[in-house]
Amino acid sequence: MVTVRIHTLLKQKGKSAYWLHKQLGMSYQSFQRLLNNETRSISRENIEALCQIFDCTPNDLFEFAQEKAPTGSN
């Protein structure tokens, strides 16, 4: 599962989610989905904007964690 590390990056910058929302200029609903890792896709433009805002690379924005297999299934 791929997740966006926005909370971590905000904490490192000492900034709030509200600050980021204003920087990105996207709708509140889309921003909340992005913030809560509920979005299905992120546009290239938003990835570029996040990289510029956080002064990072796309590798810094995303984290990959393998999903655990359900226990007790054979």
Greatest CA separation for the chain: 49
pLDDT-derived band at 74, boundaries 50, 70, 90: low
Give the CATH number of the domain where residue 35 resides.
Answer: 1.10.260.40
Q: Look at residue 40 and tell me if it is in a domain.
A: yes
Half-sphere exposure of 5 (CA within 13 A, CB side): 17
Q: Look at residue 69 and tell me if it is in a domain.
A: no
Q: Look at residue 12 and tell me if it is in a domain.
A: yes
Which residue range forms the structural domain that includes residue 27?
2-64
Q: What is the pLDDT of residues 34-57, one digit of tens each?
A: 999 999 999 999 999 999 999 999
Number of domains in the chain: 1
Q: What is the pTM of this model?
A: 0.82
Given this model, what pLDDT does residue 65 score?
Answer: 83
